[in-house]
Amino acid sequence: MSLSARLIVVTRRCLNGVRRTARHASTYTANNDIDPIKKSVFISQSTDVFVNLALEHWLYRNFDFSKHHVLLLWRNDPCVVFGRHQNPWLECNVNAAEKENIALVRRNSGGGTVYHDKGNLNLTFFTPKERYNRKYNLNIITNALFRQWGLKSEINKREDIIIDGDYKISGTAAKLGKPNAYHHCTLLVDVNKTSLSSILERKENGIVTNATTSTRSTIKNLSDINRNIQMDKLLSAIGWEYMRTKALVLEDGRYDLLQQQTGFQYINPTENWFPGIDKFISEFRSWDWNFGKTPKFTVTRTLDVPAHDGKMHRLNLSLEIQNGIVEEIRMSLPAGLVSTDFDQDASVISNLRGTRYNHEVTENIITEIGGKIVTLNPIQSVDESNVRRFDEATLQ
């Protein structure tokens, strides 16, 4: 049977059922186990990452999962999604992504940075917080791969799904709140690995931060392992595996359990269907969320700069960034070098203080002072015993 024949398109009547559960999330008690827990597979019709993250957040905030667990399946156009506590300038090539119109977005969960395109399947498992079970969810995926294609995969200590030794095919993250929780993960089906590699290449050097950093892994597409693994078949295989597995234990309920579930449902993430979702979409698109939420960091460059005497002088340029805004700009000058050598450059530094940080800010300062970036060996450093602090206030 084709995927389209198996999927049940959500009607207004179905949507009304979704809305009735919203805003009334109840506290889980042991008595809930008396009633069977229904399961649904929702499939987003959007490929806009901002819309899909807003849909995920809407369900997390509004849906009652106490007697109804949900698996949301969604795909995105090319984008980079970084964790809530990460620095985008450290995690990916922001300049290249912007030039290629690849969306950059911060999600609500922690974890590392990932690249998405339509060859990547995103899965979000929703339950009450008390029933959050990441291993259960990951086993749904590995069981589906084995049942449908005989493919053996493993869950490692970091709770990634790996295959063929140590190739990563799925990464994972989660958000736990009250009363709801979700665990979401990626599944590499036929991702453009060239784009993934170039966009996730770390270009920004000299960043010091306490932000969460990603762990780099060797990846592989499922289609590289078995050409028969295609997106529509995978959606069907994982969806059926999810619905035939009992809600509270990893046990196959077979056909009888399938008959009790609400099935596959297409979801149209619009304001008409999900009142309030437009506000979430706007928040996920905003600069304040994607860049302003970046943990405090410092960018440092070592430069060779010519002075009026014709000599080259080595100095450190340092920018302190708070909430994505350039708060301080400092330079360390060799002792004896008078500040008048750099008075002509004071205006550019003063004007950049208080502006939004991007990859061009540092380059503009370096260009204005006529400097050249110096790449130091690990054993090299600027002689701090022969420098004096030279901050933005000194230039005014």
What's the pLDDT at 2? 40
Q: 220: number of CA atoms within 13 Å, CB side?
A: 16
What average pLDDT does the segment 182-188 reach?
98
State which fold the 297-395 domain adopts: Sufe protein. Chain: A (3.90.1010)
Residue 387 pLDDT exceeds 90: no
What's the pLDDT at 376? 59
Which tokens go with 25? Answer: 């999330």
- What would the 3-class secondary structure string for the chain be? CCHHHHCEECCHHHHHHHHHHCCCCCCCCHHHHHCCCEEEEEEECCCCHHHHHHHHHHHHHHCCCCCEEEEEEECCCCEEEECCCCCHHHHCCHHHHHHCCCEEEECCCCCCCEEECCCEEEEEEEEEHHHCCHHHHHHHHHHHHHHHHCCCCEECCCCCEEECCCEEEECEEEEECCCEEEEEEEEECCCCHHHHHHHCCCCCCCEEECCCCCCCCCECCHHHHCCCCCHHHHHHHHHHHHHHECCCCCCECHHHHHCCCCEEEEECCCCCCCCCHHHHHHHHHCHHHHCCCCCCEEEEEEEEEECCCCCEEEEEEEEEEECCEEEEEEEEEECCCCHHHHHHHHHHHHHHCCCECCHHHHHHHHHHCCCEECCCCCCCCCCHHHEEEEEHHHHC
- Reported as a single tens digit per residue, the pLDDT across 11-56 is 333 444 444 444 333 333 333 333 479 999 999 999 999 999 999 9
What's the pLDDT at 305? 81
What's the pLDDT at 48? 98
- Reported as a single tens digit per residue, the pLDDT across 127-182 is 999 999 999 999 999 999 999 999 999 999 999 999 998 999 999 999 999 999 99
Q: What architecture does CATH give domain 3-290?
A: 2-Layer Sandwich (3.30)
Give yes or no for a contact between 324 and 356, defined as CB atoms under 8 angstroms apart.
yes
* Range list for CATH 3.30.930.10 in the chain: 3-290
- Reported as a single tens digit per residue, the pLDDT across 225-238 is 999 999 999 999 99
What's the pLDDT at 25? 34
What's the pLDDT at 165? 87
* Range list for CATH 3.90.1010 in the chain: 297-395
Which tokens go with 188? Answer: 């590499």
Q: Look at the block and give the residue holding tokens 């959007």.
A: 46
What's the pLDDT at 395? 34
